């Protein structure tokens, strides 16, 4: 069984090794401490039976791995093991194809049990996290028709909107280019178009204006 572990804390990787060794009698674990390195391994390395990623990492974060795999249609069993508490981010990770979200606060026995169930076809989100997601979804949503009109009237293209979403997450031009399979020159062109469409002078103002106008937070 080939397993890729992506986490910027070597101490956590050492700990998860002890858990993963109990999953199968023949486990090969490959480590990566950055999302950039993990993307290279996934796209050029061996087939993996399981990928474990942290979401909060310096540089490109774990979500960029999910986004990249989603765009490339790379369907491999991937599980998030993270201290992330923002349910919106957790929900987005699941929408991008994660088969489970395991808090780092789980015990080693609980993690092992969950991973076994996921490998057997289950999807896992802690009950308390699922409740928060459900509560978020049942709140009165904004008027989608109004928001979609705002987006349509802005003249922003679907590709530019994807760049805008990554801008809002604080991605650099290089990180956006890596995530979206674009050249940095193309990314700069998209950002320039966003500035013109929103009448913004810089990246921060661009995101702020998009939020005020109800453009961010929904999609095409």
- Considering the chain, what percentage of its residues have pLDDT values greater than 70? 91
- Alpha-helical runs (H) found in 29-143: 35-44, 62-72, 87-95, 108-119, 127-138
Query: Where do the structural domains in the chain lie, given as residue ranges?
Result: 2-137, 144-212
- The per-residue pLDDT for range 136-160, each reduced to its tens digit, is 766 645 544 444 566 777 788 888 8
Contact 82, 101 (CB under 8 A): yes
Question: Quick check: helix, strand or coil at residue 82?
Answer: strand
Contact 82, 36 (CB under 8 A): no
Q: What is the DSSP letter of 60?
A: S
CATH topology of domain 144-212: Arc Repressor Mutant, subunit A (1.10.10)
2-137 to CATH, choices 2.40.240.10, 3.40.190.10, 1.10.3720.10, 3.40.50.2300? 3.40.50.2300
Q: What is the pTM of this model?
A: 0.68
Question: Quick check: helix, strand or coil at residue 78?
Answer: strand
- The per-residue pLDDT for range 49-90, each reduced to its tens digit, is 999 999 988 888 899 999 888 888 888 889 999 998 888 899
- The per-residue pLDDT for range 159-203, each reduced to its tens digit, is 888 899 899 988 999 888 888 878 888 889 889 889 988 999 999
- The per-residue pLDDT for range 25-59, each reduced to its tens digit, is 899 999 999 999 999 999 887 789 999 999 988 88
């Amino acid at each position: 069984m080939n397993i890729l572990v992506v986490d910027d804390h070597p101490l956590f990787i050492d700990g998860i090794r002890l858990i993963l060794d109990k999953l199968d009698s023949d486990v090969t674990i490959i480590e990566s401490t950055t999302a950039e390195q993990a993307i290279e391994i996934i796209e050029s390395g061996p087939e993996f039976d399981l990928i474990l990623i942290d979401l909060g990492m310096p540089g490109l974060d774990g979500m960029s791995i999910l986004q990249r795999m989603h765009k490339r249609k790379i369907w491999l069993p991937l599980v998030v093991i993270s201290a992330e508490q923002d349910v919106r981010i957790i929900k987005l990770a699941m929408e991008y194809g994660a088969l489970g979200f395991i808090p780092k606060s789980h015990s080693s026995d609980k993690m092992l049990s969950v991973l076994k169930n996921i490998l057997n076809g289950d999807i896992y989100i802690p009950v308390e996290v699922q409740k928060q997601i459900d509560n978020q979804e049942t709140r009165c949503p904004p008027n989608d028709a109004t928001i979609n009109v705002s987006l349509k009237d802005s003249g922003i293209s679907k590709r530019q909107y994807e760049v805008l979403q990554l801008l809002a997450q604080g991605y650099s031009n290089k990180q956006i280019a890596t995530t979206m399979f674009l050249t940095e020159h193309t990314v700069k062109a998209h950002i320039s178009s966003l500035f013109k469409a929103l009448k913004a002078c810089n990246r921060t103002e661009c995101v702020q204006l998009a939020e005020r106008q109800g453009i961010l937070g929904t999609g095409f």
